[in-house]
Amino acid sequence: MKIAVCISCVPDTTSKINFTENNTEFNKEGIQFIINPNDEFGLTKAIFIKEKNQAEVIVVSVGESSIEPVLRKALAIGADSAVRIDNKAKDSICVAKNLSSFLVENKFDLIIMGKESADYNGGIVHGIVAENIGMQFVNACVGLEISDNSYIIDREMEGGTEKVKIKSPVIIAGQKGLVEEKDLKIPNMRGIMQARTKPLNVLESESFDFIQSIEFSKPSENKECVFIDEENVAELVKILNEKEKVL
Amino acid sequence: MKMLVFAENWDGIFKKSSFEAISYSRGLAEQNNYELITLCFNNVSEDELNKLSKYGSSMVITTNPIDKVDSISMSKMISDLTIQHDIKLFVFSSTYSSKMFAPRLSAKLNSSIFTNVVELPSSVNPLQLKKKVFSSKAFEIAKSSSEKNIIMLHPNSYGVKEFSSDLKSSEFTAESNSEIEIINIEKSSGKVNLSEAEIVVSAGRGMKGPENWELIEELANCLNAATACSKPVSDIGWRPHSEHVGQTGKTVAPNLYFAIGISGAIQHLAGVNSSKVMVAINTDPEASFFKAAHYGIVGDAFNVVPKLIEEIKNIKN
Ligand SMILES: Cc1cc2nc3c(=O)[nH]c(=O)nc-3n(C[C@H](O)[C@H](O)[C@H](O)COP(=O)(O)OP(=O)(O)OC[C@H]3O[C@@H](n4cnc5c(N)ncnc54)[C@H](O)[C@@H]3O)c2cc1C
Ligand SMILES: Nc1ncnc2c1ncn2[C@@H]1O[C@H](COP(=O)(O)O)[C@@H](O)[C@H]1O
């Protein structure tokens, strides 16, 4: 079985977000890039499947050469090979179209993505890819089992979860719950050594012009917090009720 | 020009996010003289359907039941409608099902798609919109180069606005032969749904242990609020994963967010900072949450929360 894990390389979650070039570019200076947290759950799941059912796991990312250390980390965690599609990856549609061309040429039984990326937070790359390559797609997956030629998938929905069965192949968008936090794979020494010699192929990309980014801005700083004495909870309730009208 | 808004229903009931999408669409349609069509799946009672007119729907198309998980048939149905009615602009809220089929629809129509949109467009030709990015740590203004566009709204940013109109409805029959088999559905029963809640009562490691959540639940009950928690709290199993909010959990944007015994780490704030009013209760006056919160009480949750419950019960009676 062949599994693709699409990973987005995003700023470390503690990063302060700043912009340069007249607020038209994200300032990458001093930013540590990591595997998008939702995708990390998917990568670990793929490795578990590989350990149990024998599978080939390929990680794919659209990005510039600066993301290669992150791909090496994915290889160290246990992926067999990595593919980088060389592009600035600034817009979801462009990312999705480039992923689609690769994914359709190399037939996969299972494509794992994350529910959303921590930078552009679109939560749309998977849906677009699914349509482009004509596959079923299930979002917000919190459980996945393989049974014969089908997948049994738990998906989150408004106010609950739903268990569904879908024939292979399928695209899923994973998140925490697909594997448990404590089971997340971290690279060990042997993995890191092996990762150095595993293939990391670079492919050319195509550019698409659907959406143009004009400008970034940051939310205005909050006004000072209004402190209320712990002996005066009634006042807080009064403010929330009468002034803020939120009760 | 024609635009379409999708009014999602859950077992025949519309929720606030659907009304917000309609309110937004009505605003957009009025501003630009667009013709607005509302689409609604499944069998919704006439009474429920009439609610849509309160927010500005005048023309509603209802369909036969459609399987909500099947993004292929959902997006096909809308694209068939698009061709029939020559629709150029679409508005969706950011629910789980919309997030499954709206991107699919965009690929089918070769359209642009904008997510986490927070306000009406600053221009419509070309379409230019403001959206949240970087886990709500920033905004982006983006411009479309396409003739067709899909807008997905960030929850609770436009709000619900009343605009009464007369309702006309028609039916559209779509074929629906799903390849997806639903094995079972588990509803988290009786509770207020976290993504839709107007008020969220959230607690962190400061609560010391799962047994103390009775206090949190009681506060939530008297406010008709949903409960949420910080990541470590769900990681150690004090609370279910579905309650984890933050950059790696759910994003919420209620009118009121209580953070009780939560330190206010940047990853936590990223998932909650779109809330209209945030109240922090923490023993540590230096806790980062006080930098983000609108109101704060420095004090012990075990002392403050019971008082809060009492005072809220007072005003509710
Ligand atoms: C990649 C990554 C992703 C992450 N994603 C998320 C995320 O999505 N969501 C998230 O929440 N976190 C996330 N985190 C974790 C985050 O960094 C913090 O560790 C976490 O939010 C802290 O949880 P907490 O506030 O409950 O606990 P603590 O940091 O331990 O804080 C407990 C607070 O309770 C206060 N307190 C103690 N006793 C009392 C009392 N009796 N009454 C009142 N207050 C009291 C303390 O003063 C303290 O401020 C992430 C971390 C990483 C590395
Ligand atoms: N640049 C990228 N390269 C590879 N996969 C990506 C990229 N961007 C997004 N994805 C995948 O699509 C998912 C959703 O991303 P997004 O639509 O940006 O929120 C991510 O969790 C990844 O699995």
Mean local confidence (pLDDT), B216-233: 96
Between the CA of residue A200 and those of A7, A60, A70, A233, what are the distances in Å? 14, 10, 11, 59
What is the amino acid identity at position B203?
A
Does A104 contact chain B (CB < 8 Å)?
Answer: no
Ligand number with the minimum distance to the CA of B232: 1
- Angle at CA B304, nearest 5°, toward B301 and B309? 110
Residues of A in contact with B275 (CB under 8 A): none
Give me ligand 2 centre to Cα A102, in Å: 14
Choice from B202, B268, B307 to test ligand 1 binding pocket (greatest atom count within 8 A of CB): B268
pLDDT at B64 over 90: no
What are residue A165's phi and psi, to 5 degrees? -120, 130
Contacts of B125 (CB under 8 A, 6+ apart): none
Q: What is the pLDDT of residues A7-34, one digit of tens each?
A: 999 999 888 899 999 999 999 999 999 9
Q: Mention every residue, 6+ apart, whose C-beta is less than 8 A from residue B58.
A: B36, B165, B166, B167, B168
Structure tokens at A30: 């001093």
Q: Which amino acid is at B140?
A: E
Q: Residue B197: is its pLDDT beyond 70?
A: yes
Q: How near does any CA of chain B get to the CA of A197, in Å?
A: 32
B133 with A121: Cβ contact below 8 A: yes
The predicted pLDDT at position A46 comes to: 98
* Phi–psi pair at B70, nearest 5 degrees: -85, 95
Residue A149 near chain B (CB below 8 Å) = no
Which chain B positions have a beta carbon within 8 Å of A217's beta carbon? 138-139, 141
Q: What is the pTM of this model?
A: 0.95
- Ligand 2 midpoint to CA A246 (Å): 36
Minimal Cα–Cα distance from B192 to chain A, Å?
Answer: 8
> CA B107 to CA B101: how far, in whole Å?
10
Helix axes A125-133, B96-109, angle to 10 degrees: 50
Counting ligands in written order, the one closest to the CA of B241 is: 1
Using a pLDDT cut of 90, give the percent of chain B over it. Answer: 79
Computed on alpha carbons and rounded to an integer, the radius of gyration of chain A in Å comes to 21
3-state secondary structure (DSSP) of residue A111:
strand
Is the C-beta atom of B216 inside 6 A of ligand 1?
Answer: no
| B252 contact partners, CB below 8 Å, separation of at least 6 | B155, B194, B195, B197, B200, B228, B245, B271, B272, B274, B275
Does A234 contact B311 at a Cβ distance shorter than 8 Å? yes
Average pLDDT over chain B reads: 93
Average pLDDT (A34-59) is 96
Q: Please tell me if the CB atom of residue B265 comes closer than 6 angstroms to any atom of ligand 1.
A: yes
Residue B88: predicted pLDDT: 96
Please judge whether B104 and A139 are an interchain contact, meaning their C-beta atoms are less than 8 angstroms apart: no
Contact A225 B10 (CB under 8 A): no
Angstrom distance (rounded) from CA A195 to CA A190:
9
| Separation of CA A43 from chain center | 10
Strand, helix or coil at A151? strand
A120 pLDDT tier (thresholds 50, 70, 90): confident
Instruction: Supply the DSSP string of B213-242, one letter for each residue.
Output: HHHHHHHHHHHT-EEEE-HHHHHTTSS-GG
Taking CA atoms, A170 is separated from A46, A128, A148, B86, B87, in Å, by: 14, 13, 14, 31, 30
CA of A120 from ligand 2 middle (Å) equals 9
The pLDDT of residue B11 = 87
Please report the number of interchain residue pairs, chain A to chain B, with beta-carbon separation below 8 angstroms: 267
A147 part of contact set with chain B, CB < 8 Å: no
Which of B150, B227, B231, B295 to probe by mutation at the A interface, max A CB count within 10 Å? B295
Residue nearest to atom 6 of ligand 2 (CA): A8
Q: pLDDT over 90 for what percent of chain A? A: 90
For chain B, say whether A71 makes contact (Cβ under 8 Å): no
Closest CA to B260 of B216, B295, B217, B303: B216
User: Whole-angstrom Cα distance, residue A110 to residue B87?
Assistant: 34
Does the pLDDT of residue B123 top 90, yes or no? Answer: yes
What tokens does B6 get?
């999708």
Q: Find the CB nearest A132 among B107, B196, B248.
A: B107
Check pLDDT > 80 for residue A223. Answer: no
Task: Write the DSSP assignment of B265-276 as a string of letters.
Answer: -HHHHHHHTT-S
B305 pLDDT more than 90 = yes
Chain A residue with Cα closest to B271: A118
Which residue has better confidence, B184 or B111?
B111
Packing angle between helix B71-85 and helix A125-133, nearest 10 degrees? 80
Instruction: Name the pLDDT band for A65 (thresholds 50, 70, 90).
Output: very high
Of B42, B70, B66, the residue nearest B179 (C-alpha): B70
pLDDT band at B181 (very low <50, low <70, confident <90, very high): confident
Q: How far apart are the first and last CA of chain B?
A: 50
Q: In the structure, what pLDDT confidence band is assigned to residue B190 with cuts at 50, 70 and 90?
A: low
Q: Model confidence over B247-297: pLDDT tens digits?
A: 989 999 999 999 999 999 999 999 999 999 999 999 999 999 999 999 999
The reply to whether A98 touches chain B by the CB within 8 Å rule is no
A124 lines ligand 2 (CB under 6 A): yes
pLDDT at B177: 73
**Per-residue confidence (pLDDT) for residue B189, from 0 to 100:** 62
3-state helix, strand, coil in chain A (%, to 5): 30, 35, 35
pLDDT at B216: 97
Distance CA A103, CA A133 (A): 8
* Residues of chain B positioned with their CB less than 8 A from the CB of A175: 248
Mutation pick from B180, B286, B298 vs chain A, by most beta carbons of A within 10 Å, is B180
How far does the centroid of ligand 1 lie from the alpha carbon of residue B264, in Å? 6
- The more confidently predicted of residues B93 and A15 is B93
The amino acid at residue B278 is M
Cβ B22 vs Cβ B7: under 8 Å: yes
Q: How high is the pLDDT of residue B131?
A: 96
Whether B74 shows a pLDDT value over 80: the answer reads: yes
Pocket of ligand 1 contains residue B283 by CB under 6 Å: yes
CA distances A20 to A216, B30, B141, Å, are 9, 37, 15
Cα(B204) to centroid(ligand 1), Å:
6
Sign of the Cα pseudo-torsion (B158, B162, B163, B167, in order): positive
* Cβ atoms of A133 and A105 closer than 8 Å: no
The answer to whether A37 contacts B248, with C-beta atoms less than 8 Å apart, is yes
| Distance separating alpha carbons of residues A2 and A225, to the nearest angstrom | 53
What is the spatial distance between Cα B140 and Cα B166, in angstroms, rounded to a whole number?
A: 37
Handedness of CA A228, A232, A236, A238 (dihedral sign): negative
- Give the ipTM: 0.95
